[in-house]
Structure 1
Amino acid sequence: MALAEQAELRLEQCAVSQITRMELLSFPGITRDEERRIDAFLSACHVCRLDERTEQEAIRLRRLTNLKLPDAIIAASALVRGATLLTLDRRMKAAIASLGEL
């Protein structure tokens, strides 16, 4: 949520990968209050489902950058939709920046 605010985006403009959704909701030790807040955030965003185009792009990204598969799927979700990738993951940022694609 903070990343969207920093980028001056409204939540209705945001999308998250299906992988991001799973990561957020499966965090060990998550409290009910945190889960409710995450659910509220996710319900305001579009969830990008894993489709064949995203799958193929994730495979390509993983081969080119050696990103972990979940990170490659997240980046591919943005790429195939022409979206801006917002992440705090420095390794992912560097890998994608090296391709000059996002």
Structure 2
Amino acid sequence: MNGLKYLLDTNFIIGLLKGDEASVAIASGINLAICSYSAITRMELLSYPDLTEVESLVINRLLARMNYIAISPEIEDLTIVFRQQHKVKLPDAIIAATAKAQKIGLLTFDKKLAAKL
């Protein structure tokens, strides 16, 4: 076992960055060292057109406290199956497949995605 327990998706991390009460309440009892994020989440967070240098720095500092999970062939295969079974956007399917491949929980506020897991 890799010691990871959670995969934080993009909307959850945005909530943390904005100080959203629900995100902060959930994360307050969790050590970020047992959390991870997908390559997709990193791309989504850092690709906003109006992102400032300070915001980029804050995002990178938060991500540095967690474990990065690259897209592997296993994640690709699970993504394909997930999209065949559920009508979801490709980034959401990759994130769901990443959690499944790692056998960890997904922390998300996307109720439609959570219902498909």
Map 1:10-25 onto structure 2 (within 5 A).
Answer: 10-25=31-46
Q: CA deviation at 1:30?
A: 1.1
Distance 1:40 1:95 in 2: 31
Name segments (4+ residues, structure 1) moved above 2 Å: 1-5
Contact 1:18/1:48, CA 8 A, preserved across alignment: yes
Structure 2 spans left out of the alignment, 5+ residues: 1-12, 17-22
* Higher RCO by CA contacts (8 Å cutoff, separation 6 or greater): 2
Structure 1 spans left out of the alignment, 5+ residues: 97-102
Bigger mean CA offset, 21-30 vs 3-12: 3-12
- The count of residues paired between Structure 1 and Structure 2 equals 96
Contact 1:4/1:11, CA 8 A, preserved across alignment: no
TM-score by length of 2: 0.75
Percent of pairs identical after alignment? 36
Q: CA deviation at 1:77?
A: 0.5
Paired residue for 1:33?
Answer: 54
Q: Residues 4 and 79 from structure 1, CA distance in 2 versus in 1: closer, same or farther, beyond 3 angstroms?
A: farther
Paired residue for 1:80?
Answer: 101
Paired residue for 1:48?
Answer: 69
Paired residue for 1:69?
Answer: 90
Task: Please identify which structure carries the higher strand content.
Answer: 2
Kindly indicate whether residue 30 of structure 2 is the aligned counterpart of residue 9 of structure 1: yes
Q: CA deviation at 1:5?
A: 5.2
Q: CA deviation at 1:25?
A: 0.5
